[in-house]
């Protein structure tokens, strides 16, 4: 199940929820004020890898090598 990010329309609280893909925001309740139907936020995902990459140009902001 994916984690979705929501923002409460009433109090502005941002929160995450582990929710079934077929779930809707109608079933979601704000954990702070109890309001229903928050707005689903766009979110970015992160991934990790065991693959090492080498920086080829100047200073690399990712691995702090120069």
Report pLDDT digits (tens) over 15-52.
Answer: 999 988 888 878 899 999 999 999 999 877 666 666 66
The whole model's pTM is what? Answer: 0.61
- Position 2 scores a pLDDT of 86
Residue 64 to residues 35, 55, 58, 59, Cα–Cα distance (Å)? 44, 10, 10, 7
What whole-number distance in Å separates Cα of residue 14 and Cα of residue 32?
A: 10
Assess whether pLDDT exceeds 80 at residue 58: no
- From the list 30, 32, 1, 6, the residue with the least C-alpha distance to 18 is 1
């Amino acid at each position: 199940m994916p984690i979705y990010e929501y923002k409460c329309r009433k109090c502005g609280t941002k929160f995450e929820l582990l929710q079934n893909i077929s779930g809707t925001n109608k079933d979601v309740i704000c954990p702070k004020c109890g309001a229903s139907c928050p707005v689903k936020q766009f979110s970015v995902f992160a991934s990790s890898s065991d693959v090492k990459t080498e920086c080829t140009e100047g200073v690399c902001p990712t691995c702090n090598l120069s």
